[in-house]
Structures are given as structure tokens and as C-alpha cells.
């Protein structure tokens, strides 16, 4: 595919958190747009390093996916792309020495995400690590990492570019069950935004029980807005105009832990409403889970006005309280952090 048809970038963060990148873009873009594109690795990779915000444990964002739509108020004038997502591969090369390989893709096709992810984790990322070790052992102090990583990222980007265009396949996965720990409501009207968080009562001891399985409630309440706004900024920077992004899924992990944010949306008469659930896998100490389709169906029930939010909250988790926690301001977010992350 031509550079003008896609958004494609490959970012590498070494064990010292230094970031290197290779991004494809059209030479017809303005100098200001090109400068903004060069800042994208720092904006997308910033929240990947969640250690400072979540305590001593290192959480990574492994997958971000956005659905794309044409606003009802606009005619078809978009340089259309069908899918927008990012994937992160993490490899620990030694104790406390972690490297990340992060790919950003906007494509006119519904890409096979697993195919691309397998290329990253099984070939591109290990090849970078192994090649570096060989070069260091072979030429010692004469090894120039910046020159090496530039060539490796170009090679990896070409491999991913060559793999684009394969339609998304349905892969069989074990029907794992997940436990819901929160719901985020976001409503956008012209010039205004309302965002609320629903979860357990702040005095419910269950919040202390689930905290070890997530980076924090605070982090989950800021991620959807952060990445949706960043994706919108990215589309405009690449001159992909007339498209509205909507966060569909964010996946995080820390060693053997995993957490998911999954969202559904609807747009009616210029008003966009979305509801998303925060999920952790069911385990020996956390029961009463459901599969992902169960949560998606209940989110659609709210959006399609088949069921009231209050009724659905009980179905998502019988311990949820029908109480709004605004997430619209820094003051609101700090209240959530104080009541759910610190006061335990």
C-alpha cells in the first residue's frame, strides 16, 4: 500500500526507556504536520510505562483499538481508513531491563491483528534483541546502537507493511470469563462532554480485593479519553479528515495479570454516547465472571435503549452501586483516586 493510504509507525523503547522510531508519511504533508508526527512515539508510548502511576508494579498497554465512523453531520469527504489499532510487544532482557516494540497502524482494510502481532513478537522484536547482543559481543565499543536500531526498525516496518491487507480472521479462543469492576459512561455533545464512573460503594471491602489485579481505578478512568483524543489528533495530523474515532478496546498486562477495557457507542442527532466496562479475568479468588459477549450485549442494551443503566449495572456486578463519580476534571479524578486507590 502507498504511504498516503496508511498510517504506519514502528517505535522501539530500550532498557533505558530511550525511544527510537520509524514512521511512514507522505512528503506532501506540511512541515508542522511532520514535526507533530515525530512526537507521536512519545505520546503513544508515554502511558505504556505505568509504573509511576500504579506503584511498584510494571503495567504495559498491549493493545489499543479504535472503531471509526463518519459523523452523521458530514458528507462523505473522508480519506477513509477502516481500522486503527496499536500493538505492543514487551521483552525482558534481564532483571529490570525491559524493552518495548510498539506498532501503530491505520489501514483501509480490516487487518488481521493476530497475524501482525505474531510477526512482532516472534520475529521482529526477538531479532532486534538478538542482533544487538551479537553486535555488542562482536565489535564491543565500536557498536553504534542508533545506527543499528534505525536499520532494524526499517526492516521491521517493511515486513509489517508487506503483511498488511490480509483480512481479519476469526481465531478460536477458549471462552474465558471475566469479572466486571467498573463502568465508564461518556456523552459528547457539541461543545460539551460528560463522563462518569460507576463501581462499588467506596466503603465496600471488595475494592481492596480487586486492586492487586489492576494498575489503579484512576488509570482506567483516564485511558479512554486520553487515547481517543490522541487517535483523533493522529488522524488529523496525517490528513485523514472527516473520521471520528471511538475507543473499542484497551488491553493491559503485568506479568501474568491482564485487564481489559471494552467499549460500545452510538451516535444520534449529533450526540455520541458510549459505555465501557473494566474487566479482569475470573480466577480462584474472583468468581461470578461472564464471557466478553455477555458484557458487549449488556452495553448494547443501554445504548439501544432496551434497558435502563441502573438495571444493567446490577447485571454487570451485583455489588455495583448506582452512584455517579464524575471523571470530567482533575479534581473529580483525584477524588476517585483517593476513594478507590489510596483509601484502603
* pLDDT tens readout for residues 284-342: 677 778 999 999 999 999 999 889 999 999 999 999 999 999 999 999 999 999 999 87
More confident residue, 218 or 1: 218
Q: Does residue 101 share a domain with residue 207?
A: no
Which tops the pLDDT comparison, 86 or 93? 86
**Same domain, yes or no, for 199 and 153?**
no
| Whether the Cβ atoms of residue 105 and residue 111 lie closer than 8 Å to each other | yes
Residue 259: pLDDT band with limits 50, 70, 90: very high
For residues 248 and 105, state if they share a domain.
Answer: no
Output the pLDDT for position 82.
83
Distances (CA, A) of 260 to 28, 56, 85, 263: 38, 20, 15, 10
Name the 3-class secondary structure at 86: strand
3 secondary structure, DSSP code: T
H-type alpha helices, the chain: 31-45, 51-54, 113-119, 125-139, 145-163, 206-210, 217-237, 292-303, 309-316, 330-336
| 56 has pLDDT over 70 | no
Higher-pLDDT residue of 273 and 16 is 273
DSSP string, 12-32: EE-TT--EEEEEE--TTS-HH
Looking at residue 95, its pLDDT comes to: 66
Is the predicted pLDDT of residue 157 greater than 70, yes or no?
A: yes
* pLDDT tops 60 at residue 79: no
Question: What's the pLDDT at 242?
Answer: 78
Least-confidence region, from 71-80, 111-120, 245-254, 332-341: 71-80
Domain, as residue range, for 284: 178-342
Task: Report pLDDT digits (tens) over 15-46.
Answer: 888 889 999 887 778 888 888 888 888 888 76
pLDDT at 136 over 80: yes
Confidence bin at 187 (pLDDT 50/70/90): very high
Domain stop point among 163, 192, 209: 163
Rounded mean pLDDT, 50-79: 67
Q: Are residues 108 and 188 in the same domain?
A: no
* Residue-wise DSSP of 184-216: EEEEEETTEEEEEEE-B-TT-THHHHHGGGSS-
Note whether residue 171 is domain-resident: no
Q: Which of 25-34, 39-48, 68-77, 207-216 has the lowest mean pLDDT?
A: 68-77
Spatial neighbors of 331 by CB under 8 A, at least 6 apart, are none
Mean predicted confidence (pLDDT) in 140-155: 90
Verify that 241 and 316 share a domain, yes or no. Answer: yes
pLDDT of residue 98: 84
**296 lies in some domain:** yes
Query: Does residue 137 surpass a pLDDT of 80?
Result: yes
170 lies in a domain? no
Domain boundary among 118, 137, 163: 163
Residues with Cβ < 8 Å from 133, sequence gap 6 or more? Answer: none
Mean pLDDT of 242-257: 89
Q: Are residues 39 and 100 in the same domain?
A: yes
Q: Is 91 helix (H, G, I), strand (E, B) or coil?
A: strand
Q: What is the mean pLDDT of residues 169-177?
A: 71
Instruction: Select from 112, 133, 163 the last residue of a domain.
Output: 163
Is 172 inside any structural domain? no
Section 115-134 average pLDDT? 93
Is 145 found in the same domain as 11? yes
Tally of domains within the chain: 2
HSE, CB side, 13 Å, CA atoms: give it for residue 286.
Answer: 23
Q: What's the rounded Cα separation, in Å, for the pair 36 and 33? A: 5
Same structural domain for residues 223 and 194? Answer: yes
Rounded Cα distance, 219 and 188, in Å: 21
| Segment 48-75 mean pLDDT | 68
Residue 50's pLDDT band (cuts 50, 70, 90) = low
- Do 256 and 330 belong together in one domain? yes
The predicted model scores a pTM of 0.90
Residues 142 and 184 in one domain: no
Q: Establish if 334 belongs to a structural domain.
A: yes
Q: For residue 234, give the nearest of 71, 79, 110, 106 by alpha carbon.
A: 106
* pLDDT for residue 52: 46
Q: What percentage of the chain has pLDDT greater than the value 70? A: 89
> Which CATH number belongs to the domain containing residue 45 in this structure?
3.30.450
pLDDT of 118 > 90? The answer is yes
Residue 41 lies in a domain: yes
Say whether both 187 and 335 belong to one domain: yes
Torsion sign over Cα 203, 207, 212, 215: negative
- Whether residue 169 is contained in a domain is answered as no
> Do 241 and 136 share a structural domain?
no
Q: Is residue 1 part of a domain?
A: no
Amino acid at each position: 500500500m502507498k504511504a498516503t493510504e496508511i498510517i504506519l509507525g514502528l517505535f522501539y523503547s530500550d532498557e533505558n526507556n530511550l525511544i527510537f522510531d520509524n514512521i511512514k508519511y507522505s512528503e506532501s504533508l506540511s512541515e508542522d504536520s511532520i514535526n507533530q508526527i515525530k512526537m507521536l512515539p512519545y505520546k503513544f508510548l508515554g502511558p505504556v510505562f505505568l509504573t509511576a502511576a500504579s506503584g511498584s508494579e510494571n503495567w504495559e498497554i498491549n493493545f489499543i483499538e479504535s472503531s471509526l465512523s463518519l459523523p452523521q453531520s458530514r458528507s462523505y469527504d473522508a480519506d477513509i481508513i477502516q481500522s486503527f489499532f496499536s500493538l505492543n510487544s514487551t521483552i525482558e532482557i534481564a532483571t529490570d531491563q525491559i524493552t518495548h516494540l510498539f506498532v501503530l497502524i491505520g489501514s483501509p482494510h480490516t487487518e488481521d491483528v493476530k497475524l501482525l502481532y505474531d510477526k512482532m513478537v516472534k520475529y521482529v522484536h526477538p531479532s532486534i534483541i538478538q542482533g544487538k547482543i551479537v553486535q555488542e559481543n562482536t565489535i564491543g565499543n565500536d557498536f553504534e546502537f542508533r545506527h543499528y536500531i534505525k536499520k532494524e526498525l526499517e526492516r521491521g516496518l517493511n515486513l509489517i507493511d508487506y503483511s498488511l491487507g490480509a483480512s481479519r480472521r476469526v481465531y478460536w479462543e477458549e471462552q474465558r470469563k471475566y469479572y466486571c469492576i467498573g463502568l465508564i459512561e461518556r456523552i459528547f455533545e457539541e461543545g460539551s462532554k460528560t463522563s462518569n464512573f460507576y463501581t462499588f460503594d467506596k466503603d465496600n471491602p471488595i475494592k481492596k480485593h480487586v486492586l492487586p489485579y489492576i494498575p489503579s481505578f484512576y488509570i482506567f478512568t483516564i485511558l479512554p479519553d486520553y487515547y481517543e483524543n490522541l487517535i483523533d489528533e493522529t488522524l488529523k495530523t496525517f490528513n485523514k479528515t472527516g473520521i471520528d474515532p471511538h475507543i473499542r478496546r484497551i488491553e493491559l498486562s503485568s506479568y501474568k495479570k491482564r485487564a481489559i477495557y471494552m467499549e460500545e457507542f452510538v451516535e444520534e442527532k449529533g450526540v455520541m454516547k458510549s459505555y465501557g466496562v473494566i474487566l479482569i479475568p475470573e480466577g480462584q479468588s474472583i468468581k461470578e465472571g461472564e464471557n466478553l459477549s455477555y458484557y458487549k450485549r449488556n452495553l448494547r442494551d443501554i445504548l439501544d435503549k432496551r434497558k435502563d443503566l441502573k438495571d444493567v449495572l446490577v447485571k454487570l456486578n451485583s455489588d455495583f452501586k448506582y452512584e455517579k463519580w464524575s471523571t470530567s476534571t482533575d479534581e473529580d479524578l483525584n477524588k476517585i483516586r483517593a476513594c478507590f486507590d489510596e483509601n484502603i
